[in-house]
Chain A
Amino acid sequence: MTDRSLTARNYAMGVVALLLAFVVFIVPFLFVAINAMKTAPDAAQLDFSLPERWVFWENVVTTVQTRDYALLLAYWNSTLITVCAITILVIFGAMVGFVIQRRPSPVSRFVYVLILSGLMIPPAVVPTIWVLQGINLFKTLQGMILIQVAYGLGFTVLLFRAFIATIPRELDEAAIIDGAKPWQVFFRVVLPLLKPVTVTVIVVQSISIFNDFTHPLYYLPGRDNVTVQLTLYNFQSQFASQNNLLFMNILLITIPPLIVFVFFNRQIVAGMTSGAVKG
């Protein structure tokens, strides 16, 4: 095979891959975007034609105002849940990862097994609701935050543990000789080195928590507790013919995570693959 045919083949494969990605990712998005700008009867057709009349701004206003500004409340609720859950996840994930990686003992190994099983065993919804009811956290944002922390902790600990394993133990030991207490070793030496993986955790988890549909559906019923993905129901049940608003809603709730992802995707990949101590 000559060099030229090789590059031609690479080129062709690149084009095919791009086309595939286009069909899988961009086409649905375009479909949503186009239909979000149609009038209700027009959107009821559910086809790929351009809108007969462009009603972008009207649709935005109507969507936001629906059900007494439920979308804005949902943004607030989802943001609150995300910020609180992420804060707890990062602090505990890093600490647990540190202890599990640095102090192997029967206890920490047992905890590690628990964490792995947390990743593998699917959550049981009904018993979780019993527990939440038992401690009066069912239908509360606090309860939802704790649920998100519980679901996210396994993966977070795993990421932190793997990253901490790349930090030479001598660094801890040097700090101990310098007179650092265990908590100082963590907060002054290890934690500052966890920046790349922390960015990864924040971005990955906040997108999944912000966009979560099923868990708020099970554990957080109630009008005042609505989260962004649940606003989709606003246009599903009421009238059959409000596809345009449904799509506009999708557009409005997809954009914030998309922006986060576009801005941070470099750091995400860096945090997943890099070690702490370079050069």
Chain B
Amino acid sequence: MARVVLRNLRKSFGALEVIKGVDLEIEDGEFCVFVGPSGCGKSTLLRMISGLEPHTSGAIEIGGRDVSGAEPSERGIAMVFQNYALYPHLTVRENIGFGLSLARVPKEERNRKVDAVAEVLQLGPYLDRKPKALSGGQRQRVAIGRAIVRDPEVFLFDEPLSNLDAALRSQMRIELTELHERLGSTMVYVTHDQVEAMTMADKIVVLNGGRIEQVGTPMELYESPATPFVAGFIGSPQMNLFEGGAARTMGCDVYGIRPEHLTISDGAGQWVGRVRHVERLGADTIVHLDVPDLGPLVARVDGGLTYAIGQQVHASPDPERAFKYRG
């Protein structure tokens, strides 16, 4: 069984420390998403788990075995890259079967396994094509197929959907989730997109500047973000965060309130502001306000409500759901 455990993992490139001590336990069969802004070290962390990047100090365990010194191919992992990394000179069948042919698996068995994977991913008609002749979504499937055929204990994904268009991305999100349910393997998934994190993860690891900011289920992170960073990162539209004088009047250093936890009214309310911009999404409407006491404020209100630009309105936070941070 493949629990993945990272103990005080560090990584430096020369003098630059990129991963600054990460402790993490990923349970067997869990879908774990690393999320964080670009450059925070997500890929580096994933590549250290894969063994492509040696770590500077600390330990990595996969399935109870310390793999700190092991070759990538000995770690029981498979990886799907952002740009797919399909072998351009090989057909889809050879791409998927490449690892098996390296391992000198007999041809019949190899074909049988490749066919089985192609069946799952609906790649049957394309098995004799070169990657060049495939669409982005199909290439992505081939890359996933190449991972599945290795029958790994842990799947590693590095932003696998970021080269796809929006429609295909949401479809692939569902397919990946279903694949995870079907295979039951541990999956570690890197993304900078908090929507992917929220929709797919069993466990989200929020990274910031080479450190873990918070670990939890999507709803835990949404309902009780431990730091202003997590509060601002999880949720869309972003949480309204205020520092300085505005926050001090509310008795804290950082004050946060989600757009969906604000009520807008014409009558009395906590803050008075003017409507600067209105985004109509149909079911919801996002209202951007200028509040003299605070600065810009975003509220999510029912789609049926309308506001004119420049109109003066009152906004009130739900005090139960406001976040107050110190330090």
Interface residues of A (CB under 8 A from B): 168, 170-171, 173-180, 184, 188-189, 192-193, 276-279
Contacts and interface: CB of A to CB of B under 8 A. Distances in A.
Nearest to B81: A170
Nearest to A181: B102
A192 B98 CA distance: 14
B87 interface: yes
Nearest to B103: A179
Given A178-B102, A179-B103, A193-B89, A170 B73 contact: no
B267 interface: no
B89 A175 contact: no
A277 B83 CA distance: 12
Given A179-B73, A278-B132, A174 B81 contact: yes
Nearest to A278: B132
Given A184-B102, A278-B132, A176 B85 contact: no
A175 B52 contact: no
A177 B89 contact: no
B86 to A, nearest CB: 8
A174 B85 contact: yes
A185 to B, nearest CB: 10
Interface residues of B, number: 23
Nearest to B75: A177
Nearest to A167: B88
B52, B81, B88, B132 pick with most chain A CB within 10 angstroms: B88
A179 B146 CA distance: 12
Contacts of A179: 73, 99, 102-103
Contact of A177 (B73, B88, B103): B73
Contacts of B78: 177
A184 B101 CA distance: 11
A174 to B, nearest CB: 4
Closest 3 CB pairs of A and B: A178-B99, A170-B85, A179-B73
Q: Is the interface of A mostly helix, strand, loop or mixed?
A: helix
A229 B99 CA distance: 50
B132 A171 contact: no
Given A174-B81, A177-B73, A192 B102 contact: no
B79 interface: yes
A192 B86 CA distance: 14
A171 B89 contact: no
B50 interface: yes
25 contacts: A170-B81, A170-B83, A173-B52, A173-B79, A173-B85, A174-B81, A174-B86, A174-B87, A175-B98, A176-B73, A177-B77, A177-B78, A177-B79, A177-B99, A178-B98, A178-B102, A179-B73, A179-B99, A180-B102, A188-B102, A193-B88, A193-B89, A276-B88, A278-B88, A278-B132
A189 B73 contact: no
Contacts of A184: 102
Contacts of A171: 85, 87
B101 to A, nearest CB: 9
Contacts of B98: 175, 178, 188
Contacts of A279: 132
A174 B79 contact: yes
Nearest to B47: A173
A173 B103 contact: no
A79 to B, nearest CB: 30
B150 interface: yes
A142 B150 CA distance: 48
A173 B81 contact: yes
Given A170-B83, A174-B81, A174-B146, 14 more contacts: A168-B85, A170-B81, A171-B87, A173-B85, A174-B79, A174-B85, A175-B87, A175-B98, A176-B71, A177-B78, A178-B73, A178-B146, A189-B87, A276-B88
A270 to B, nearest CB: 15
B232 interface: no
B216 interface: no
Contacts of A175: 87, 98
A276 B89 CA distance: 10
